[in-house]
Amino acid sequence: MGPQELTPHLFRTEYSKIVAVLCRTFHFRHIEIAADIASETFLKASEYWAQKGVPENPAAWLYTVARNKAKDYLKHTAIFETEIRKGLMHDESWTELDFDFNHQTISDSQLAMIFAACNPVNSSEAQLCLTLQILCGFSLVEISNALLAKQETIKKRLQRARENLRNENFQIKSLSEDEIKTRFEVVLRALYLLFNEGYFSKSNSLLIRKDLCLEAIRLALVLTGNELTDTPEANALLALMCFQSSRLEARTDESGAAVLFDEQDRSLWDQALIQKGNHYLIQASKGTELSKYHLEAAIAYWHTTTADPKKWQHILNLYNELIVVEYSPVTALNRVFAYAKVYGNDNGIREAEKLNLKESGYFHGLLGYLYTGLDSNKALEHYRKAILLTKSEAERKVLEKQVFRLIPIPEKDSRHDGDSFTL
């Protein structure tokens, strides 16, 4: 992988690690300093690697440059003498500014930072925006798409949230068990949204962004690797991610185009990830808690199972529970898909029409699927409506592919060199 491809990938996976470790010293009110140093590190990498080539261990190279830049900054700015050093000297745990980027420090820093960003001084919406931006590396566009809000609204939330945390003067440090409990729900939701953006991107030309899926899994592993955050709910979320990730290779063809579930090559499913999903689902079953992540993980488990003749009935039953725990239009439409698998497309169409989600591209895409084989004209009508409503280029290509399958190929006209038709 060359510098042009590698640098964006490393930015997604390493930028937040660098910022988190630096913020253990700079504290959150100086997060802009940490962010600037991290950005300068990647700028130097893009320039240096283009001339000298990619080093053997690019992540370690980035950590070294970031460490040196941070130390250099502290030596040459008054802020260190007037604010940071004064605070550090009263911290018994502080010894020297070594900015250690070992695995444990990175893990501890990111765990502390994600919970620090979810400070209840801000609204839950603002906490989520802050977490997605700082720790998950989401852009304004990605956050607005993930939360279904305008970019200007997201921008204002982020500005207010940062200002509130500066006034609080909180530090990236170990949190108490009570603090973790009050912030845990937002943390899990942020990782859930991060994974979803990778699994089915709404803000990128690529349908699947594996780097986001892997980053979400990595952060979820940070949670399950700490005794204070190794909860059934966290394990359920990790199980869900493993089950869904097991099918990533089968969800697109060689050209990158999407492959629908019914048409996927099962031999491409990652059995090792399915086994990991089973492991974490068992871990999630300890105790009496039943969250939306438990139900979604169970649904994902049944999707990886092919032998059970009652598979879709099990999935439908789980969707019936999930829709009570947390209703959303997407959950309702997914439930209809399972309902049609159990009771047939005719009944599925009637169930879908009850939802009356006429402004949803997913709604029309589902009806297009259900009408296929029953009424081609109605299937085409709904698929075309879905194409007009979708904002995703990758999703649009999937829908256009279904339209082309339904349009009859006209007999060749001798006056033309070949056949043609329009959508």
Confidence check: pLDDT of 95 > 60? no
Per-residue pLDDT, 181 = 85
Name the percent of the chain lying above pLDDT 90. Answer: 40
pLDDT band of residue 289 (cuts 50, 70, 90) is: confident
pLDDT band of residue 93 (cuts 50, 70, 90) is: very low
Query: Between 103 and 250, where is the model more confident?
Result: 250
Lowest mean pLDDT among 68-82, 137-151, 396-410: 68-82
Q: Does the residue 364 lie in any domain?
A: yes
How far is residue 250's CA from residue 167's CA, in Å, rounded to a whole number?
48
Mean pLDDT throughout 339-344?
97
pLDDT band of residue 94 (cuts 50, 70, 90) is: very low
Per-residue pLDDT, 84 = 58
Mean pLDDT throughout 393-399?
81
pLDDT band of residue 79 (cuts 50, 70, 90) is: low
How many distinct structural domains can be found in the chain?
Answer: 1
Return the CATH number at 362: 1.25.40.10
Confidence check: pLDDT of 192 > 70? yes
Q: Does the residue 22 lie in any domain?
A: no
Q: Does the residue 168 lie in any domain?
A: no
Query: Between 401 and 281, where is the model more confident?
Result: 281
Lowest mean pLDDT among 226-230, 315-319, 366-370: 226-230
Mean pLDDT throughout 80-88?
57
Per-residue pLDDT, 423 = 32
Q: Does the residue 367 lie in any domain?
A: yes
Confidence check: pLDDT of 417 > 60? no
Which of 163, 165, 70 shows the shortest CA–CA distance to 119?
165
pLDDT band of residue 40 (cuts 50, 70, 90) is: very high
Per-residue pLDDT, 88 = 53
State pTM to two decimals.
0.77
pLDDT band of residue 414 (cuts 50, 70, 90) is: very low
Lowest mean pLDDT among 60-64, 69-73, 145-149, 338-342: 145-149
Query: What are the Cα distances from residue 168, in Å, to 128, 133, 365, 396?
Result: 18, 19, 47, 45
Q: Does the residue 256 lie in any domain?
A: no
Query: Between 238 and 6, where is the model more confident?
Result: 238
Q: Does the residue 370 lie in any domain?
A: yes
Q: Does the residue 369 lie in any domain?
A: yes
Over the stretch 229-270, which tens digit does the pLDDT of each residue have?
Answer: 999 999 999 999 999 999 988 888 777 777 888 888 899 999
Mean pLDDT throughout 184-192?
88
pLDDT band of residue 271 (cuts 50, 70, 90) is: very high
pLDDT band of residue 389 (cuts 50, 70, 90) is: very high
Per-residue pLDDT, 171 = 58
Mean pLDDT throughout 138-157?
86
Mean pLDDT of the chain: 83
Per-residue pLDDT, 33 = 84
Over the stretch 196-234, which tens digit does the pLDDT of each residue have?
Answer: 877 877 665 566 677 778 888 988 998 998 888 999 999
Q: Does the residue 150 lie in any domain?
A: no
Domain that holds residue 368: 336-407
CB 390 within 8 A of CB 258: no
